[in-house]
Amino acid sequence: MDVVTRICYVYYPIFLEKHDRRIQAKWLSLKSLFTLARLMKDLMDLALFELRSFLGRMLLDRRPKLYRNINYLQLGCGLNPVDGYVNADFYNVFYIRKSKNYMQKLQWQLDLRYPLACGDNVFDGVFTEHTLEHLTPLQAQNLLKELYRVMKKNAIIRITVPDIEKYVKFYIGVHESIDADGFKKNYDSGCSAIRNSTQNYGHKSVWDFAELKRCMEAAGFRDIQKMDFGVSNDENLKLDLKHRAWESFYMEGRKT
C-alpha cells in the first residue's frame, strides 16, 4: 500500500473520531487533491505515451533491421534484448530508462496497435513474452494476424502471457495446480492479485488457454499447443524468463 493510499484510507477514519466537522471538511478537500493529483499523473503518462507513439511513427517508422540468413523476432523485448534476434519494442524516442547498449540491440521500434512495417514471410520464428496483455482484445487479434503475415511458412510463434486461470485459482483457494508460493510472495491476498493482473502495469486484457487459442486460430495459426516453461518445438524460441513462470502460461502455434 503506497503512502497516499495509507493516509487517505487507513488513517483517515481514526482522524475523524478525534476532530470536529470543520477539520473533517478540510481533510476531505485534501483527500480530493490527492485523488486529483493521481488522476493528473495518469493523464500525463497517457499523453507522454501517445506523444512517443506519434513521434516514433513520424520519425522512426521504418522496417526492422534484418540479418542475412535467419531472423527470429523477439517482440516486446523490454529490457531483455537477446543477441542474434530481431529485438522489437515500443518507440523510445526520448531514450527513457534505456542504456546506449540497449539501443544498439534494439533493431525495431514500433507501436503494436498499428500494422507492422514489415514485408510478408520474413521471420523464421516469433517469441513474445508478457506483451499481449498490454493490448485490448481487438488490438491483440489484429497483431496476431500481422504476425502470421510476416512469418515464414511452417514458422512457430511462442506466446507467454499471465494466466488468468492461475489467478482465479489463487483467489478461490485452489492451490494444488499452481505455484501458490509464487503468488503469496507477490500478493497479500487473492483480491490484490486479481486487481494487479487486470488494472496495473497498463494491462488491457486477460488471457487463458481457450481465449488465446481462439484468437490464434482466427489469425490462421494451426497446431496450437499449450507448452511448459522452457519446452518448445523450436530450440531458438526457448527464451522464457524464469521469474515469470509462476504466473504464466505458454502457447505455440504454427503458420501453415
Q: What is the pTM of this model?
A: 0.83
CATH superfamily of 57-163+207-254: Vaccinia Virus protein VP39 (3.40.50.150)
Does the structure show a pLDDT above 60 at 86? yes
**Phi first, then psi: what are they for 13, rounded to 5°?**
-60, -40
Beta-carbon count within 10 A of 232 CB:
19
Burial of 153 (0-12, 13-18, 19+ CB in 10 A): exposed
Q: Residue 160 and residue 139: Cα distance in Å, rounded?
A: 17
Q: Residue 186 and residue 30: Cα distance in Å, rounded?
A: 31
**CA within 13 Å, CB half, 196:** 17
Convert the pLDDT of each residue in 94-109 to its tens digit: 665 556 566 667 899 9
Confidence of residue 93 (pLDDT cuts 50, 70, 90): confident
Residue type, 194: I
Q: For the chain, what are the domain ranges?
A: 57-163+207-254, 164-204
Convert the pLDDT of each residue in 215-237 to its tens digit: 999 999 999 999 999 999 999 99
How many residues does the structure list for the chain?
256
Q: Which residues pair with 86 in a beta bridge?
A: 73
Beta-carbon count within 10 A of 93 CB:
17
